[in-house]
Amino acid sequence: MDTAKKKDIRALTKEQLRDFFESKGDKPFRGNQVYEWLWQKSAHSFDAMTNVSKETRQMLTDNFVINHIKVDQMQRSKDGTIKNAVRLHDDLVVESVLIPTKTRTTACVSSQVGCSLDCKFCATARLKRMRNLNPDEIYDQVVAIDNESRLYFDRPLSNIVFMGMGEPLMNYNNVLKAIDKITSPEGLGMSPKRITVSTSGVPKMIKKMADEQVKFKLAVSLHSAIDEVRTSIMPFNATFSLHDLREALEYWYQMTKSRITYEYVVWEGINDTQEDVDALVAFCGFAPSKVNLIEYNPIDDDMFRQASGSALEMYVATLEKNGIIVTVRRSRGKDIDAACGQLANKS
């Protein structure tokens, strides 16, 4: 059989794999064994499955491929951050990042090749969306970073953020399937509480997540709580307005009682006035919230400049006065273009 026509075996659920073995006159239990090799042990080839007979391995080779990702290039920042350029089976490339701190290792993973949104301040937006990542391609990025964490920092991965390339809620089904594998004891067995999905805010999908009672955390890239300002820097806001976003977030909180985190960059002349911070307070005051003030990572553009320290202080003071938790987040991995918004397959 032509390789191009063979199916990626990791697109199958465990049930489907069991059925496949049964249809070949074998025991369904073989499906469990192979499934464990594919997910828990991250086997890259059928030949690695040593407790499976040679004939069965050949039969699998005849029917399927294992489309494993390949870390093509690894760059290390002076602050310890690692960026992987990850080659997919069709030769497209995405990036993922390992961010170490004293106590944690966080994986920042991609959900799409490129991105369909057009945030003016983000380097990934310039790549346009080429395709969605499959669940196994998302899972493999996490496994690769877990391995690097063990190798270079002597500890397993502790947290995952979907803040790499792409808009996770525009590849919702695959992101959820990947998270299922990451949290399942048959995969990595990680707690969903250690996973954050970051979105520019797709109201319909936020409501769907609320309905499905997902257990991971939600972060919203807000950057402005004033429609005209937000639309000017995140043009899709013209379609998904702040009103709809707010309504979806209220629903999310009502259903999950889970705190919402907002990501926010303060730019000079764009959102650095008292009016901007007052709008932010009014927007997120309805539920327990946390605002992460992210440092701007320049992307060769004259339009955006990080606001002054005094503007940041005004944000911090006003948010705190209103009982909103606020953190000022320093960028990591800037020297290797691994910081927020810098992932653009430059290498």
Chain residues in the site for ligand SAH (CB under 6 A): 119, 121-122, 163, 167, 198-200, 221, 263, 265, 294, 296-297, 299, 340-341
**How many angstroms separate the CA atoms of 215 and 230, rounded?**
29
- Is 108 designated active site? no
Q: Which is nearer to ligand SAH, 21 or 240 (CB)?
A: 240
Token pair belonging to 274: 């008292």
Closest contact distance (angstroms) between CB of 344 and ligand SAH is: 10
> Per the residue annotation, which of 108, 115, 122, 340 is the catalytic one?
340
Cβ closer to ligand SAH: 190 or 219?
A: 219
Give whichever of 37 and 121 is closer to ligand SAH, judged by the CB atom.
121
183 versus 297: smaller Cβ distance to ligand SAH: 297
Out of 95, 137, 148, 263, the active site residue is 95
135 with 178: CB under 8 angstroms?
A: yes
- The reply to whether 340 belongs to the active site is yes
CB 340, min distance to ligand SAH, A: 3
**Cβ 122 to ligand SAH shortest distance, Å:** 4
Contacts of 93 (CB under 8 A, 6+ apart): 72, 85, 86, 87, 113, 345
Determine the Cα–Cα distance for residues 84 and 73; give it in Å rounded to an integer.
6
Give CA–CA dist 304/285, Å, rounded: 27
Taking CB atoms within 8 Å and a gap of at least 24, the contacts of 228-231 are: 229/270, 229/271, 229/276
User: Please, what is the minimum distance in Å from the beta carbon of residue 259 to ligand SAH?
Assistant: 17
Q: How far is the CB of 247 from ligand SAH (least distance, A)?
A: 19
Residue number with CB closer to ligand SAH (27 or 204): 204
Q: Are 127 and 114 within 8 A, CB to CB?
A: yes
User: CA–CA separation, 260 vs 290, rounded Å?
Assistant: 6
Contact 277, 97 (CB under 8 A): no
Closest CA to 237 of 225, 251, 248, 247: 225
What is the rounded distance in angstroms from the CA atom of residue 299 to the CA atom of residue 240? 25
Which amino acids are annotated catalytic? 95, 340
